[in-house]
Amino acid sequence: MGEQSNAAVEKHGADPLAARIGAEARERLRAARVGVAGAGGLGSNIAVMLARSGVGHLVIADFDVVDESNLNRQHYFRRHLGRPKVEALAEQLRAIDPAVCVETHRTRVTEANVRELFAACPIVCEAFDNPEAKALLVEQLLTDPAGPVVIAGNGMAGTGPAAEIATRRVGRRLYLCGDGVSDVGGGAALFAPRVALCAAQQALLAVRLILGEEGMGRDGR
């Protein structure tokens, strides 16, 4: 280690994130486990933001491979084309923070496996593109009394104003991020900034839940 690196360690401590956010918050984030269901435009961006925020454990499920048509909004690079998304994403997350534990499942999330896949996660970010799959995940995880808080992405297609993307709580264990109406099925395209706005709200809410700044639906909160 050169002199400059020693000076950096002295200035920021061995953990620069802890120096910025405080040891307690750092520890809560490090101990947290968040599920990400789908590794497309929402899921890939959510996972990257959570890794940067110091979330220690991520469980990511997706069946798909990286396609050229994904590169306009999903957090992948040309070199990832043809590779399973969960693999390409895990590689990026470890490049951001080698300490992050990434559990990947290259599988289609279904009614039959969704509870098991995310059984160890107190928080799950729903990041599918298909509305039926979104509804199914919410139903399966929320009808399980021991299930997680679900943060679903709903409505981020098109080029509508950023302020229309919002986060709201609709149940004890259900939060929604998005404008609630912009449907890709209506012919609207998906643009990186608006998809990332929605992903950022989902990731921010996960961080807020981990830090105790939002209710998890337990103890009346």
Please say whether the beta carbons of 202 and 151 come within 8 A: yes
In the complex with other proteins, the residue whose CB is nearer, 3 or 132, is 132
In the complex with other proteins, the residue whose CB is nearer, 4 or 143, is 143
Helix, strand or coil, per DSSP, at residue 135: helix
Tell the smallest beta-carbon distance from residue 199 to other proteins (Å).
Answer: 9
Residues in contact with other proteins by CB under 8 A are: 38, 40-43, 127-132, 134-135, 138-139, 142-143, 152-157, 170-172, 174, 176, 178, 180-185, 188, 190, 195
Tell the smallest beta-carbon distance from residue 84 to other proteins (Å).
Answer: 18
Instruction: Give 99-129 as a DSSP string.
Output: T-EEEEE-S---TTTHHHHTTT-SEEEE--S
* Distances from the Cα of 173 to the Cα of 2, 170, 215, angstroms: 49, 8, 8
Helix, strand or coil, per DSSP, at residue 215: coil
In the complex with other proteins, the residue whose CB is nearer, 41 or 56, is 41
Tell the smallest beta-carbon distance from residue 188 to other proteins (Å).
Answer: 8
Neighbours of 164 (CB within 10 A): 16
In the complex with other proteins, the residue whose CB is nearer, 46 or 121, is 46
Tell the smallest beta-carbon distance from residue 171 to other proteins (Å).
Answer: 5
